[in-house]
Structure 1
Amino acid sequence: MGVLSHLDSMKHDMSAAEKKIYAYICKNVEKIPSMTAHDIAVASGSSAPTVVRFSKKMGFNTLTEFKISLSAETKQEAEITGYSDVYPSESFEVLKTKLSNNAQFTICETTELFTEAPFAEACDLLDIHEHCFVHGVGASRLAVEDFAHKWTRLGKKVVRETDYNLLLPQLVSNPKKSLLLLISNSGKTPELVALAETAKELNIPVIAITQFGQNRLSKLADVHLQTSRPMETELRSAATNSILAQFVTIDLLYYFDISRNPDYAEIVYRTRVAVDRFRDTYM
């Protein structure tokens, strides 16, 4: 994902000292690659260790890696450079362009966060557990429905309950065979945190899909699949960019699971044939 947009998405989690470093970087992007940790610290009014910790907190292994990524970004010219908010009385064409750009930016930022290891771990858990309980509230319920549609097609027993009081007893009754998948953009949704805490007490593995960074849900999860932190427009009436990030995460998990299991590909083919036969006969 874009380095500067990534830093911007993390600014609410920054300490006062880290915000000074962030502000200096934003104003001096072209200088940073040639500066040392000491140079950045003096210029931003912080300390060299804080600068190094800042780069690691932002997701980079070293300060050098951060500077290389930032340098590459400043040299790259791209048509889509970030999110655009929408405003009252804008034309249809302007809105269409902004929303298209925002969607593309969200997908690119999210997929650039993906690494194979957590997806492989999630697939392993999905393959070995008989029941997969999945839950999300608000707009994340759409992602829950998408997940359920995909894995039930593979023959998986997926249970999606919208009522916490109905889901909890089923977890308690099937702890050894169960897996819990929770979807929350913020990772702070009370109902999902409570479910994850209960699952941990019962030794039920938890897969969480949340935005990048540490949150209550990610800390409880056995596997954390991270999405970007897409900005939402001030005038939104529902989640738009965040749900796209969740959808692309589920899509990759689904196709990766199929790629690892040849039997799944055969199952998908048979279901496709069955649907086509129904349409040819009755529609």
Structure 2
Amino acid sequence: MNEDLYTDITPDEDAGLIAEKLALRFNQSINQTVKHLDTNRIEEVAKIVKECTTIYVYGLGASHIVAEDFTQKFTRIGKSVVNTVDHHLMASAMINASGPCMFVAISNSGETKEVLKLAQIAKQKKVSYDWDYAI
């Protein structure tokens, strides 16, 4: 096995070696993800998503890019998704929510104050299900 594959990518490195390193890291990530997946939890979440008429999704900074991607993908399958970078608008939308809906908070650190406040509002309004789970 080529030990160079396990080193960091360096400037002026051969493009072929960079491609191999990226492929190795990608495959390792997929294998680790599969190992930790809880299929029962996935089925539970899929059922909730199916029942929801509206999904509220929020992320700030780089997490907003993930929220935008989430919005695009779920809108393509026919779900109504509310996504805005303005946490005040998101709070107003959730406070006035009706019907079965859910809130998806996206935060790399899990400590973003706007995300935590919106999660608190979602729980108070019962916009989110009571999960002890975070991705």
Short-chain TM bin: 0.7 to 0.9
Q: Deviation above 6 Å: which 4+ runs of structure 1?
A: none
Question: Which residue identity is paired with 1:222?
Answer: W
Classify the secondary structure of the residue corresponding to 1:159.
Answer: strand
* Structure 2 SS opposite 1:170: helix
Q: How does 1:101-112 map to 2 (within 5 A)?
A: 101-112=24-35
Give the greater-gyration-radius structure (CA): 1
Q: Deviations over 1:71-129 (max 9, x none)?
A: xxxxxxx989x964323343323322222211221122112211112112211221222
- Secondary structure of 2:82's aligned partner: strand
Relative to structure 1, the CA distance from residue 90 to residue 79 in structure 2 (aligned partners, 3 Å threshold; closer, same or farther) is closer
Matches within 5 A, 1:76-225: 84-174=7-97, 176-206=99-129, 222=131, 224=133
Corresponding letter in the other structure for 1:180: F
| One-letter amino acid of the counterpart of residue 90, structure 2 | L
Q: How many residues align?
A: 134
Structure 2 unaligned runs (5+)? none
Separation of aligned partners in 2, 1:162 and 1:83: 38
* Post-superposition CA distance 1:154-191 (Å, at most 9, x none): 22111111211211100011155331012223322322
- Identical aligned pairs, as a percentage? 28
User: Can you list the C-alpha shifts for 1:125-148, whole angstroms capped at 9, x where unaligned?
Assistant: 212221101112333333323322
Check conservation: 1:130, 1:156, Cα contact below 8 A.
Answer: yes
- Asked if the contact 1:134–1:159 (Cα under 8 Å) also holds between the matched residues in 2, the reply is yes
Question: Helix, strand or coil for the counterpart of 1:224?
Answer: coil
